[in-house]
């Protein structure tokens, strides 16, 4: 027990501990330095000691924030996967945080926020992309001069494989993302009739747009929809021309992207100056509030996105800090995964417009879309190193159904210094004993 309590002390790096009254109340009249684990009181339950250690780790001058100092904490979660919500509730209780759940788009369930929505989006991506494709380069379907040539260095890759342009909506709002309201534009129309069917708003605008932009009727034939011809390739900046390496949009990937887009729109709807979006398969650094409180003042007012968690990241420890006094924040170089990231209101407006630009919308996994926007310098992004939130990868992936997808974790070193889930487990073991 003394080893565990010393670990708590070392993690918080705090030199004072408040004595426990017999009734569990705090007595601020008496305290002492924690020079050794023997000085930690041992006459109360372990769970109580952890709880009061958490309180002691907070600065008396700073008021605890149930939203980590932001406008809100959103958790994207499939409503039918109750086990994950229970785990998130445990984290919320342990850290005294207030989570707002956003029901994720579910590619494995019917309905307007289920498979019907996902199939509509994939149909519209196919419709938008009904032009040159990588496979066309291998046949005689492309007229000379109408398409870029493959790379001289690597004939299996070609730059800008799709005729591409940003929407006028994006270009008109680059200078000042907050100047104009979002309105309806681009890929918003692809699911507008489904959105309107669930609200009290009329769907006339949706029906008019659908009538003006019809899709080929043969696309509704189930035999055709299950054929290779119906598959839609991802559209990365570099496109692989080897058919055996082609990657396609998956219903799970589209559902994930749509869920994040709806969370971003919720930040805009509520006009939150900032918010944090979590996925529901995570573990959180126990001292996250103290760390964020220290680091946040170093962010410039123009920040758009901050990665609290990431994977396959090249934002390495040897890269410079955002500020000499900052101990975690660095400029983002390359980061994937969206299991924990903060977005400013300015960043939310930017993302909403870029992600609905028709040539870009749902063109690849959403973490790649945001990573590309960062690397194209459209988003101002920063990263916590080491990460404050990691994916647990303990359950089956809801994007790649049937896969655990945990190999990256063993290679990337994305581990917490002080796991909240481990603390919860220790408390339960102690109380069971």
Distance CA 305, CA 10 (A): 31
Last residue of a domain, one of 245, 264, 283: 245
Sign of CA dihedral 407, 362, 279, 301: positive
Nearest residue to 233 (alpha-carbon basis) of 158, 173, 170:
158
Domain count, the chain: 3
pLDDT in tens, 121-143: 999 999 988 754 444 444 544 44
125 with 173, same domain? yes
Residue 45 domain flag: yes
Q: CA-to-CA distance for 38 and 56, rounded, in angstroms? A: 17
User: Residue 299's CB: how many other CB atoms inside 10 A?
Assistant: 18
Regarding whether 392 and 265 lie in a shared domain, the answer is yes
Residue 62 domain-assigned? no
Could you tell me how many helices (H) and strands (E) the chain has, helices first?
14, 13
- Residue 293: inside a domain: yes
| Nearby residues of 178 by Cβ (< 8 Å), 6 or more positions away | 345, 346, 349
In a domain, 318, yes or no: yes
What is the rounded distance in angstroms from the CA atom of residue 323 to the CA atom of residue 328? 9
Would you state the pLDDT for residue 21?
29
Number of alpha carbons in the 13 Å side-chain half-sphere of residue 120: 21
Q: What is the pLDDT of residue 344?
A: 98
228 DSSP 8-state letter: G
Angle formed by the axes of helices 251-270 and 366-375, nearest 10°? 60
Together in a domain, 277 and 418: yes
91, part of any domain: yes
DSSP string for residues in 34-70: -SSGGGS--SS-HHHHHHHHHHHHS-TTS---TTTTS
Beta-carbon count within 10 A of 66 CB: 14
66 within a domain of the structure (yes/no)? no
Domain span holding position 151: 115-245
Choosing from 215, 245, 275, the residue where a domain stops is 245
> Cβ(236)–Cβ(359) under 8 Å?
no
Q: What is the pLDDT of residue 131?
A: 55
Report pLDDT for 415: 74
Residue 335 and residue 213 in one domain:
no
257 and 365 both lie in a single domain: yes
Q: Are 120 and 197 in contact (CB under 8 A)?
A: no
Distance CA 364, CA 235 (A): 6
What angle in degrees, to the nearest 10, is found between the helix axes of 251-270 and 115-128?
100
Supply the pLDDT for residue 408: 39
Instruction: Out of 245, 267, 301, pick the residue that ends a domain.
Output: 245
DSSP E strands in 160-258: the ranges are 238-240
Run of H or E including 389: strand 389-391
The answer to whether the CB of 294 falls within 8 A of the CB of 208 is: no
- Tell me, what's the pLDDT at 27? 34
Same domain, 233 and 261: no
Residue-wise pLDDT for 111-121, tens only, equals 889 999 999 99
Same domain for 177 and 296 = no
**Residue 416 within any structural domain of the chain:** yes
Same domain? For 147 and 121 the reply is yes
Whose CA is closest to 50, among 392, 421, 416?
421
Both 43 and 176 in a single domain?
Answer: no
Pairing of strands 99-103, 157-159: unpaired
Contact assessment for residue 186 and residue 356, using Cβ atoms and an 8 Å cutoff: yes
* Cα distance between residue 101 and residue 103, in whole Å: 6
Angle between helices 420-432 and 82-95 in degrees, nearest 10? 90
Instruction: Read off φ and ψ for residue 383, nearest 5 degrees.
Output: -135, 135
Give the tokens for residue 11.
């993690």
Residue 433 domain flag? no
How much is the pLDDT for 322?
87
Question: Rounded to an integer, what distance in angstroms lies between the CA atom of residue 188 and that of residue 191?
Answer: 6
Query: Which tokens in the block code for residue 58?
Result: 């907070």
264: domain CATH number is 3.90.550
Contact 101, 75 (CB under 8 A): yes
Q: Are residues 25 and 139 in the same domain?
A: no
The verdict on 89 and 44 lying in the same domain is no
Q: Kindly report the number of other CB atoms within 10 A of residue 407's CB atom.
A: 10
Task: pLDDT tens for the chain, 433 residues: list them.
Answer: 433 433 343 333 332 222 222 333 333 333 222 223 333 333 344 445 445 545 555 544 578 999 999 999 999 999 999 999 999 999 999 999 999 999 999 999 998 899 999 999 999 999 988 754 444 444 544 444 444 555 667 665 555 555 678 899 999 999 999 999 999 999 999 999 888 776 666 678 888 898 899 988 888 888 998 888 888 888 764 555 554 556 889 999 999 999 999 999 999 999 999 999 999 999 999 999 999 999 999 999 999 999 999 987 776 666 788 888 998 999 998 899 999 999 999 999 999 999 999 989 998 899 999 999 999 899 999 999 889 999 987 655 444 544 444 443 434 445 788 889 988 888 765 555 5
Query: Does residue 27 sit in the same domain as residue 123?
Result: no
């Amino acid at each position: 027990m003394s080893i565990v309590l010393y670990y708590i002390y070392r993690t918080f790096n705090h030199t004072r501990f408040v004595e426990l009254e017999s009734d569990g109340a705090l007595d601020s009249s008496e305290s002492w330095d924690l020079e050794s684990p023997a000085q930690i009181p041992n006459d109360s339950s372990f769970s109580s000691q952890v709880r009061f250690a958490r309180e002691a780790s907070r600065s008396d001058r700073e008021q605890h924030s149930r939203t980590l100092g932001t406008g809100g904490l959103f958790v994207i979660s499939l409503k039918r996967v109750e086990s994950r919500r229970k785990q998130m509730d445990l984290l919320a209780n342990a850290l005294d945080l207030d989570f707002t759940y956003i029901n994720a788009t579910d590619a494995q369930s019917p309905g307007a926020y289920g498979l019907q929505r996902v199939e509509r989006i994939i149909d519209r991506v196919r419709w938008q992309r009904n032009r040159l494709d990588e496979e066309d380069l291998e046949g005689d379907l492309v007229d000379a001069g109408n398409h870029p040539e493959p790379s001289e260095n690597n004939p299996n890759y070609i730059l800008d494989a799709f005729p591409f342009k940003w929407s006028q909506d994006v270009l008109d709002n680059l200078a000042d993302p907050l100047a104009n309201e979002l309105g309806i534009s681009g890929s918003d129309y692809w699911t507008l009739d489904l959105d309107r069917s669930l609200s009290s708003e009329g769907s006339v605008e949706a029906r008019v747009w659908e009538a003006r932009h019809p899709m080929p009727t043969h696309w509704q034939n189930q035999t055709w929809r299950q054929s290779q011809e119906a598959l839609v390739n991802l559209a990365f900046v570099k496109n692989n021309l080897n058919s055996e390496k082609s990657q396609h949009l998956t219903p799970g990937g589209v559902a994930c992207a749509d869920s994040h887009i709806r969370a971003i729109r919720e930040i805009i709807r509520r006009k939150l100056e900032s918010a944090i979006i979590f996925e529901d398969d995570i573990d959180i650094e126990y001292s996250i509030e103290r760390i964020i409180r220290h680091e946040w003042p170093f962010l410039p007012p123009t920040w758009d996105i901050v990665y609290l968690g990431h994977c396959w990241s090249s934002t390495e420890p040897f890269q410079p800090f955002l500020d000499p006094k900052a101990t975690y924040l660095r400029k983002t170089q390359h980061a994937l995964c969206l299991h924990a990231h903060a977005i400013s209101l300015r960043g939310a407006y930017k993302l909403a417009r870029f992600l609905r630009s028709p040539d870009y919308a749902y063109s690849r996994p959403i973490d790649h879309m945001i990573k590309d926007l960062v690397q194209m310098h459209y988003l101002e992004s920063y990263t916590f190193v080491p990460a404050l939130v990691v994916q647990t990868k303990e359950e089956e992936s809801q994007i790649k159904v049937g896969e655990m997808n945990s190999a990256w974790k063993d290679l990337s070193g994305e581990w917490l210094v002080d796991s909240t889930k481990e603390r919860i487990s220790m408390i339960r073991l102690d109380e069971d004993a």
